[in-house]
Amino acid sequence: MASPLTFEIAHLLAGSLVLISFMMLYQDRLFALINVFALHAIVLALSVAWQAYLQGAPHLYVTAMIALLFKGVVIPVGLHRIIQRLGIRRDIETAVSIGPTMLVGIGLVTLSMVLMLRVTPHAGPLAREDLAFALSIILLGLLVMVTRRNAVSQVVGFMSLENGLVLAATGARGMPLVVEISVAFSILIAFIVIGVFLFRIRERFDSVDVGALDDYRGERR
């Protein structure tokens, strides 16, 4: 089962997810960011499918399909449409410049590696690596949310964070399908709500920069 090749492939897929998360950090165009996110979701689907094959768990194929369909296709296409219909500016205002963000990202990955390898000495090597990668992806997703001012990119950060959760759950053998479906469903709901929200902000402020909300409240940024 745990032959070197299968292990390396799983490792490769999870590692690529972290790499793609890094790619998100330096995108400064909205469409590019969404495309990278779609790539993220597709690689996640591959990774989950590989886990399904390894563990012989057919329900994980469903998870992979959900990831591919919703996150790889529906949501990116939806976001593209929203951006086109709103006609919002396609460059991203970052709160922190790219260089320091990348450095912080490297620090976060180091932290999650050190932490996960320390707290899971008894788990299998595959699960340990998987968990460490998953934690990195979650932290990087949060970092994307924190460093962007644009509401659309915050949504994307949130979705990539959720990808990290799915990776952790599949690596850990045994998240029930129901949970996965409900998580996917809640993500979809969040997507719809945030989409509607975006339209409303746009109508009122002619911008999806969340800073406009703060100006409206009379607060300093």
Partner 1 sequence: MMAGVAALLWGVAGLLGTTVLAMAISRRTFATRLVYSATLALCFVMFAVAALHLLGGNADDSKLTLPLGLPWIGAHFRLDALAAFFLIVVNFGGAAASLYGLGYGRHEAAPHRVLPFFAAFLAGMNLVVLASDAFSFLLSWEFMSLASWALVIAHHREPSHTRAGFIYLVMASAGTFALLLAFALLAGPAGTYAFSAIRATQPTPLVEAVVLGLMLVGAGSKAGLVPLHVWLPLAHPAAPSHVSALMSGVMTKVAVYAFIRVVFDLMGHPTWWASLVVLFLGALSAVLGILHAMMENDLKRLLAYSTIENIGIIFVSLGLAMAFKANGMPLAAALSLTAALFHILNHSFFKSLLFFGAGAVLTTTGERNMEKLGGLIHRMPLTSFVFLAGCVAISALPPFNGFASEWLTFQAILLSPELHQWGLKVMVPAVGGLLALSAALAVATFVKAFGITFLGRPRSPAAEGAHEVDRFSLTAMLILAVLCLLTGILPGLVIDALSPVTTALIGSRMPVQLAQPWLTTVPIAESRSSYNGLLVFLFITMSASLAVFVIHKLASRAVRRGPAWGCGFPDITPVAQYTGTSFAEPIRRVLGTFAFRARESVEMPPPGSLEPARLRVEMHDLIWEALYQPLVGAVEYATTKLNYLQFLTIRRYLTLVFGYLVFLLLVLAIWP
Token pair in block for residue 153: 């990119």
Residue 121 to residue 10: CA distance in whole angstroms: 19
**Which of 62, 183, 188, 213 lies at the binding interface for partner 1 (CB under 8 A)?**
213
User: What residues between 66 and 125 interact with partner 1 by CB under 8 A?
Assistant: 95, 108, 111-112, 114-115, 118-119
Specify the residue, 71 or 148, whose C-beta has the smaller distance to partner 1.
148
Binding mask 148-167 for partner 1 (x = CB under 8 A): xx----x-------------
Q: Supply the DSSP string of 63-106, one letter for each residue.
A: HHHHIIIIIIIIHHHHHHHHHHHHT---BPPBSS-HHHHHHHHH
Name the one range near partner 1 by CB under 8 A: 21-29, 47-55, 61-69, 139-147. Answer: 139-147
Instruction: Give the count of residues interacting with partner 1 (CB under 8 A).
Output: 23
**Which of 57, 102, 142, 172 lies at the binding interface for partner 1 (CB under 8 A)?**
142
Q: How many CB atoms lie within 10 A of CB 13?
A: 21
CB of 210: closest distance to partner 1 in angstroms? Answer: 6
Specify the residue, 12 or 211, whose C-beta has the smaller distance to partner 1.
211
Residues lying near partner 1 in the complex (CB under 8 A): 95, 108, 111-112, 114-115, 118-119, 139, 142-143, 145-146, 148-149, 154, 210-211, 213-214, 217, 219, 221
